[in-house]
Chains A and B, each alone.
Chain A
Amino acid sequence: MSKFRKDDKKELPPISTASLPDIVFMLLFFFMVSTTMREVTLKVKIHTPEATELSKLEKKSLVSYIYVGTPLPAYQRVFGSEPRIQLNDQFAKVSDIPDFITAEREARDEAEVPFMVTSLKVDQYTKMGIVSDIKQELRKISALHINYSARQKTKR
C-alpha cells in the first residue's frame, strides 16, 4: 500500500563469478611472461659478494654463466671440497671453457655474438687463482665482456 514498504523478500543477488577465470588467466599470463625458468641445477655453493656499483644484465638470452664455488656436500666425496667450476650441469676444468664459449656462440644468432656477456657467478671465499685462470681463458677466446655477479649492498 505505502510507497515505502520494505521489500523483505528481495535478496542481494550473488556476485557473478563468471569473470573469475578471466581474471585468473590474466594473472597467469603475467607470470608466464615474466617467468624465467631455472635452467641449471647448481652443484656448487655460491654466495656472491656484495657491491654497490651494479649494472643489470640486460638480455638474458645473450648471457652465458660460469659458476665457481665449493661443491655441495653431496658431490664432495667425488669432487673434493676445493672450489670447482660448473658449466651447464656438470663440473668442468678451466680447459673446458673455450669449448663451452664456442658452443654458446654457436647456439646464438651470428649477429648477436658480439653482444654476448659472460657472467661469472663466483663464491666470495674463492681464491683469485682460479678466477684469473678463467679470465685468461676468456681473453684467449675473446669473450671480453664479462660481468662479476654481485648482490646489492644494503646501505648502512
Chain B
Amino acid sequence: MARKIPEIPSASLADIAFMLLIFFLVTTTMDVDSGLERKLPPMPPEEQQDTPPIKERNVFIVLVNARNQLLVEGELTNVDDLREKAKEFMANPNDDPKLPEKTMKNVDFFGNVEVTKGVISLQNDVGTQYGTYIAVQNELVGAINDLRNELAKSKFGKPFESLDKDQQDAIKEIYPSRISEAEPKKVGGK
C-alpha cells in the first residue's frame, strides 16, 4: 500500500505573494507620459522651388530672442497675452483689413463658410530657453484649441474632444493648425 504523501503547507503562500506584490509596488511608475504633440515639416526637396509669397496680413509673426522676450507682430508682448492675440488673428471676427484674409470653402456640417488663410510663424534664437519655447508653443496650440472648442460648442453643443471624427475633421478644416517654424537665428550669442 502506497504511503500517503503529506500535503505541502500553503500557509506561506500569502507571504510569498506579498513579497512579490511589494516588489512590484516599489518598481511601478504609474505616471503617464504626456506632452505637446507636434509634426515636423518634411525636409524640402533638393531643388528648392520658390514658395509662393504669403501676404503680410496673413502671417502672424512671433519672434523669441535669447533673453526670452517675445516680439509679436512687431510689439513686445507678454506670454500671457499671446493666446488672445493669436485667437484674434486666427478668427478675425470683424474682418479687419489688417488681419488675415478668408476664403469661402465648403465644409461638411457647416456648408459654405469662411476659412482663414492665416499662418502663424514662430522663430526663436539659438539662445532661447527651451522652457520659453514650450510656453510659446503651448499658447499657440492653446489658441487654436480654444477656437475649435468654441466652434464645437456653438455648433454641436459639445466640447471638441467628445465629437466624432468627421465632426472634428470639419472643425479642423475651418481652424487649421498652421504653425510654421523658421530656422533659428544666431544673434544673441550662446
Q: Interface centre among B137, B138, B183, by most A CB within 10 Å? A: B138
A2 interface residue per 8 A CB criterion? no
Pick the 4 closest A-B CB pairs, nearest first. A124-B131, A129-B126, A31-B24, A51-B138
User: Measured between alpha carbons, how far is A31 from B129 in the docked complex, in Å?
Assistant: 38
User: Measured between alpha carbons, how far is A117 from B36 in the docked complex, in Å?
Assistant: 12
Do A150 and B35 touch (CB < 8 A)? Answer: yes
B43 interface residue per 8 A CB criterion? yes
Given A34-B28, A132-B184, does the pair A57, B138 have CB atoms closer than 8 Å?
Answer: no
Contacts of B32 in A (CB 8 A): 56-57
Do A21 and B39 touch (CB < 8 A)? Answer: no
Closest B residue to A150 by beta carbon equals: B35
B110 interface residue per 8 A CB criterion? no
Task: For chain B, residues 14 to 57, give those with C-beta under 8 angstroms from any C-beta of chain A.
Answer: 14, 17-18, 20-21, 24-25, 27-30, 32-43
User: Measured between alpha carbons, how far is A119 from B36 in the docked complex, in Å?
Assistant: 10
Q: Interface centre among A38, A48, A135, A150, by most B CB within 10 Å? A: A150
Do B17 and A147 touch (CB < 8 A)? Answer: no
Determine the interface band of chain A, counting residues with CB < 8 A from chain B: 35 or more
Do B36 and A148 touch (CB < 8 A)? Answer: yes
- Given contacts A24-B18, A147-B38, could you give 4 more A-B pairs where the C-beta distance is less than 8 Å? A21-B14, A128-B124, A132-B184, A144-B42
B130 interface residue per 8 A CB criterion? yes
Binding site for B on A (CB under 8 A): 17, 20-21, 24-25, 27-28, 31-32, 34-38, 48-57, 60, 63, 117, 119-120, 122-129, 131-132, 135, 138-140, 142-152
28 contacts between A and B (CB under 8 A): A27-B21, A28-B21, A35-B29, A49-B135, A51-B137, A52-B138, A53-B138, A54-B34, A56-B33, A57-B33, A119-B33, A124-B134, A127-B130, A128-B125, A128-B127, A128-B128, A128-B184, A129-B127, A129-B184, A129-B186, A132-B126, A138-B40, A142-B43, A147-B33, A147-B35, A149-B35, A150-B134, A152-B34
B142 interface residue per 8 A CB criterion? yes
Main secondary structure of the interface of A (DSSP, over half): mixed
Main secondary structure of the interface of B (DSSP, over half): mixed
Cβ of A17 to closest chain B Cβ, rounded Å = 7
Contacts of B42 in A (CB 8 A): 139, 142, 144
Contact of A52 (CB < 8 Å), options: B40, B133, B142: B142
User: Measured between alpha carbons, how far is A57 from B133 in the docked complex, in Å?
Assistant: 20
Cβ of A128 to closest chain B Cβ, rounded Å = 4
User: Measured between alpha carbons, how far is A20 from B142 in the docked complex, in Å?
Assistant: 50
Closest B residue to A143 by beta carbon equals: B40
Closest A residue to B130 by beta carbon equals: A126
Closest B residue to A117 by beta carbon equals: B37
Cβ of A51 to closest chain B Cβ, rounded Å = 4
